[in-house]
Amino acid sequence: MNQTSLSTSLPLPDNLRRSLQSSPSLRTYLDNRVTKSQTNRRRTRSQGARERLTTKEHLARLAVGLREVELADKLQRCHSRLSVLTCGRHIARIIPNFTCEFRLCPDCSRRRSRKLQSKYLPAMSAFMLHRRVTAVHLVLTQTHRKENRKQSAKRIKDSFTRLQRRGFWKEYFKGGTWSLEFTKDKNGLHHTHLHIIGFRRKFFGVELLRGEWLAATGDSHVLHLKQIQDIATGLREVVKYVSKPLDIRRFGAEDLKEFLGLKNMRMFGTFGEFRDFCKDFEPSDNDAAAVGDLESFTRDLVEGCACPQCNEPLFDLRMSGKELPKFYEQVESSPPRKVATS
Ligand SMILES: [Zn+2]
Ligand SMILES: [Zn+2]
């Protein structure tokens, strides 16, 4: 759907219609980030490791500049020494010496995102099965205002609360999860989005939902709705925004300062019936196996165990965090070993 048809299909105030028509940035954002994100070429692991290293060094420098001595020290120690379980061609497990747990640390947010996935994936699969619902990925946006990150987050969360109180929402949705995503544009305006995995009871036209969101926000009907085919992929997509709140490499000292002020803000949560379901849900071993819980699978690996990918014995290689990207490169360029079939 293009900009014009969207703007003419709803009874919008003139000023809003004009601003939407003249600035397609929000639509472009949604098209690029949300609809194209799944088709993007995947980075190699070595590229990923190198980017994490650069990001962390950047953050540590900013922290030093802000005289956040403790934070800088933690960031520098986090994942600085590693024990890498490898067969020489695959990396089965990486155990760091220390984790800083800082929300923006790329290594720690990866761990956190894996934890969230292994916590919620079994519950989601069970919920969908028992409640006969399908899952959608919904991205809610709001108009841009001059406000700080905290105000922007509060505004969108409040609008979402109002949406949930509406008859439409209660009729069509049975809860789900929400997560916050922050971006900032060239003019320094905050763009806050809510990424929602919603469990839908029955089909509805997206225009209906646009009207409801407009009623809840008062001035925004821009959203993106996509059916989730595979819940594991869907959850990974959404958790990504929690683990990667912004392009941190473009962060300045002011951004870090502002972020430190958000210390206790929740970035991810559950709502509605799914929230209650999670309280009582105890995953059985079957649930974990059914959804391919990789975390619990590699957690028990030690030196001498068989490599999960080729069955060769694993050995424990000690290295510094700075050496990891090179080691990934080495692993990536080694020829594949024939998979043992025993
Ligand atoms: Zn860390
Ligand atoms: Zn192997």
Q: Which residue spans within 39-189 are E strands per DSSP?
A: 81-86, 91-96, 134-140, 173-184
> Distance, CA 117 to ligand 2 centroid (Å)?
25
Determine the Cα–Cα distance for residues 80 and 97; give it in Å rounded to an integer.
Answer: 7
Instruction: Report every protein residue that has its C-beta within 5 angstroms of ion ligand 2.
Output: 87, 89-90, 307, 309-310
Q: How far is the CA of 82 from the centre of ligand 2 (A)?
A: 19
C-alpha 295 – ligand 2 centre gap (Å): 17
Pairing assessment for the beta strands 173-184 and 268-271 based on DSSP bridges:
antiparallel
- Using the mean position of ligand 2's atoms as its centre, give its distance from the Cα of residue 303 in Å: 13
Distance from residue 253's CA to the centre of ligand 1 (Å): 19
What is the full DSSP assignment across 282-314? Answer: ---HHHHHHTT-HHHHHTT--TTSBPTTT-PBP
CB 28 within 8 Å of CB 3: no
Question: pTM of the prediction?
Answer: 0.76
Residue 91 CA, ligand 2 centroid: distance in Å: 7
Alpha-carbon span 39 to 237, nearest angstrom: 12
Grouping H, G, I as helix, E, B as strand and the rest as coil, residue 200 is: strand
Q: What is the mean pLDDT of each run of 10 residues along the chain (342 residues)?
A: 38 50 50 47 86 94 96 96 94 93 90 86 92 94 87 94 96 94 78 93 92 95 93 86 70 87 84 94 62 58 90 96 96 73 48
Ligand minimally distant from the alpha carbon of residue 321: 1
CA distance 240 to 139: 13
The reported pLDDT for the residue numbered 250 is 80
Q: In what helix (H) or strand (E) does residue 258 lie, and over which residues does it extend?
A: helix 253-260
pLDDT value of position 284: 67
Q: Identify which ligand lies nearest to the alpha carbon of 112.
A: 1
**Residue 4 has what pLDDT?**
36
Give pLDDT, residue 29: 53
> In this structure, what token pair is assigned to residue 61?
């420098």
| Ligand closest to the CA atom of residue 77 | 1
Helix (H) or strand (E) segment spanning residue 121: helix 106-131
- CA 317 to ligand 2 centroid distance, Å: 14
**CA 10 to ligand 1 centroid distance, Å:** 46
| Closest ligand to the CA of 60 | 1
CA of 101 to the centre of ligand 2 (A): 30
How remote is the CA of residue 100 from the centroid of ligand 1, in Å? 4
Ligand 1 mean position to 275 CA, how many Å? Answer: 29
pLDDT given for residue 260 in this prediction: 87
CA of 85 to the centre of ligand 2 (A): 10
